[in-house]
Structure 1
Amino acid sequence: MAHLFTPTTVGAYSLSHRVVLAPMTRLRTIQPGDIPSPMMADFYGQRASEGGLEIVEGVSISMTARSYLGAASFFHDGQVEGWKAIANAVHAKGGRVFMQLIHGGRQSHVDMTGGVAPVAPSVVPFDGVALTKEGFVPASPHRALGIEEIPGIIEEFRVAAQRALDAGFDGVELHGANGYLVDQFIQDGTNKRTDAYGGPIENRVRFLREAVEALISVWGADRVGVRISPSGEWGGISDSNPEATFSHVAKVLDEYRIAYLHVIEPRIKGDDTLHEGQAPVATKYLRAHFSGPIIAAGGFDGDSAQAIVASGDADLVAFGRHFSSNPDLPYRLKHNLPLTPYVREAFWGGDEKHYSDFPAYHPVPEAVATV
């Protein structure tokens, strides 16, 4: 595991290893109000390590950006103390923590958006789901954003970024993946606009550019990351030429000299593996177009993480499912220790059980020989 445990630099920060906590929507906020809970602070604090990087699960930037009941958000003052507690818990163990900012776009329901229709770049048939008090339900019909509305959403990204800074975080990540609003603008299966935000890829990345610039205006480029999911299937997303589209996205982001590019491999859909054993493909072709650090995510174990860092296609690897059940995952990987199996039933909401109650590794004492 030598390659995973060498120091590296990500934007403004020096890290002591390359094992990253991936953002995972786990629906543990206090309702109503999406208040970050004490068990969330426990969860992130437990998984922090000296010189390690954590990325906090998708944090909605407004009421209308929400998709899932219980998911995180940061748009009102009542949430401040909970987020400060999470940042403090990570810092207490010498770690760094970025907050991932998200707008769900058409992946929502009127019960989550305050009664208004979800928004998208264009109206395209969509049979996705949202999570409400009634459980997972079909997403509400969405409407196309008017061009005059877009600056208001960009401003919501900027305000949320400022809130993250004030709460003591170390940076922010723009969620441009998994079929949420930024991704809906990028990909031509969901963006049918004919104005300055649609048509050729140069126009379809305009929303991404403006969101990135809003985050940079608060943080500086070296404390902003972006997550993308080329050829991903979550959220009914599609593009006619994903390699060309996301190669262009990588080139655009490279211009800004952001802290990192975070890439989900298409063998993963949400928290499921679609293509068992498929080698990483997205990071391989994106490496030529992005000169900064790349974080690879999606279906990695210790050996495959070591291999992709050794190859140079990625500089760090983000773990979700394995990190969920192994709070000391960097230590276990470094010392080739067994991993505790994750519990899928606890992914989408619940209490501390199978969330913040997983123990760190403790060797089983050898039996004392008796005569």
Structure 2
Amino acid sequence: MTTLFDRHQLAELTLPNRVVMAPMTRVRAAAGGLATPSMAAYYAQRATAGLIVSEGVQPSLIGQSNPGTPGLHTDEQVASWRQVTSAVHANGGRIFAQIMHGGRVSHPDTTGLQPVGPSAVAAVGDVFTPGGPLPAPLPRALETSEVPEQAQSYGRAARRALDAGFDGVELHGANGYLISQFLSSNANLRTDRYGGSRSNRIRFAVEAVQAAVDAVGASRTGIRLSPGANFWGVQERDVPELYAELLAELAGLGLAYIHLEATADETVLVELRRAWPGTLIMNPVLPMGPKQVGLAEAERWLGLGAELISFGRAFIANPDLVERLRTRLPIAPVDEATYYQGGDTGYLTYPAYQYTA
């Protein structure tokens, strides 16, 4: 029986275990979207994961969603990330950069630019800005001629990620951000080749993935998806058919993996598992929901055919999560108040398990 602690060959990488650190926004970047020494220490502390997927990294200024997040679109940003990737590798780890274009989930107070999206439809809810939460603004609908440029931004960021020392990239195609907005049936009201039918709504996702593959190779490229999720007001019609069609298109590209979130019924997710011929990373519980991923959820999804299991919040408070899972030690609780507050408290201050005599 496969366990979390078995090795797995992920394309060209040999993972020592099947525990993946999920991407999590922590808004600790310096001005200019630069990675910091604290970020290097944070990821290095968690390098026993089979694979780390970084926080979302914007591929362009227009792609930035939240203040305090890092980028991969300037030479200075690339140089700043090398301390992070070097620290992870020195501790024996492997790390992919998650490339995240926020699309309409952004604000002029953060970027100085009007956000863009598939259509002029605002996200639902407040977005983070340097001055605090504000209602999501109306985005500018991309012209048909502009859409390929946004898809290509993922490829340019992917190339920069490898220059920065990352082992690969994961495109953020989930949670209501730009790729997810194009997949949507209410954020995407387009009538051109990028909207309407399922084949048109998946087109941007496929073009963005193709751009990354062309830049760094399929074996270094994955994508995260959240079928049927309703983050930021995004809704999707025909979820099983939409994602089956998307996976059929992506299957021909030979990606390292797809990374699914538990945002649809288990029967739908299991069918997608069966439809995908390659490695599946599964996040077994609803992101930011009431329950965290634990050993039981991980083992269940290994039994359902996932090769790798991603853990989010548990990795924040447990830098030694792999060892805690292996030896069934208690999982420390996380202080939610420190998620986005900045500084090292609640970032570098969680200890490894303290054994007592």
Question: What TM-score do you get using the length of structure 2 for normalisation?
Answer: 0.94
1:36 corresponds to 2:29: no
Letter in 2 for 1:264: E
Q: Distance in 1 between matches of 2:162 and 2:152?
A: 15
Q: Distance in 2 between matches of 1:148 and 1:2?
A: 48
The equivalent of 2:143 in structure 1 is 146
2:304 is aligned, of 303, 311, 319, to 311
CA shift digits 1:323-363 (9 cap, x unpaired): 11000101110110111111111112321111111111121
Aligned residues of 1:29 and 1:72 also touching (Cα < 8 A): yes
Q: Which runs of 4+ in 1 moved over 4 A?
A: 279-282
The equivalent of 1:205 in structure 2 is 202
Letter in 1 for 2:312: G
Cα RMSD of the aligned pairs, angstroms, is 1.6
Q: Distance in 2 between matches of 1:234 and 1:341?
A: 25
Q: Distance in 2 between matches of 1:35 and 1:106?
A: 23
Q: Secondary structure of 1:235's partner?
A: helix
1:53 is aligned, of 31, 51, 54, to 51
2:281 is aligned, of 286, 289, 295, to 295
TM alignment of 1:167-246, pairs within 5 A = 167-246=164-243
Aligned residues of 1:107 and 1:128 also touching (Cα < 8 A): no
Q: Secondary structure of 1:353's partner?
A: coil
Q: Distance in 2 between matches of 1:281 and 1:105?
A: 30
Q: Distance in 2 between matches of 1:152 and 1:182?
A: 13
Question: What TM-score do you get using the length of structure 1 for normalisation?
Answer: 0.91
Q: Percent identity, aligned pairs only? A: 41
Compute the displacement of 1:88 (Å): 0.7
With 132-141 and 218-227 compared, the bigger mean Cα shift is at 132-141
CA shift digits 1:259-291 (9 cap, x unpaired): 000011127xxxxxxxxxxx8455312112101
Q: Distance in 1 between matches of 2:3 and 2:25?
A: 29
Q: Secondary structure of 2:231's partner?
A: coil
2:247 is aligned, of 244, 247, 250, to 250
The equivalent of 1:330 in structure 2 is 322
Letter in 2 for 1:102: M
Q: How many residues align?
A: 350
Q: Secondary structure of 2:174's partner?
A: coil
Letter in 2 for 1:30: A
Q: Which has the larger radius of gyration?
A: 1
Compute the displacement of 1:65 (Å): 0.7
Aligned residues of 2:22 and 2:311 also touching (Cα < 8 A): yes
1:97 corresponds to 2:95: yes
Q: Distance in 2 between matches of 1:281 and 1:223?
A: 29
CA shift digits 1:168-226 (9 cap, x unpaired): 11000110000101011112121111111111111111111111111011211111000
Letter in 2 for 1:296: M
Query: Structure 1 305/67 Cα, relative in aligned 2: closer, same or farther at 3 Å?
Result: same
Q: Distance in 1 between matches of 2:303 and 2:261?
A: 18
Aligned residues of 1:5 and 1:17 also touching (Cα < 8 A): yes
Aligned residues of 2:221 and 2:256 also touching (Cα < 8 A): yes
Q: Secondary structure of 1:45's partner?
A: helix
The equivalent of 2:355 in structure 1 is 363
Q: Distance in 2 between matches of 1:321 and 1:355?
A: 12
Q: Distance in 2 between matches of 1:301 and 1:290?
A: 24
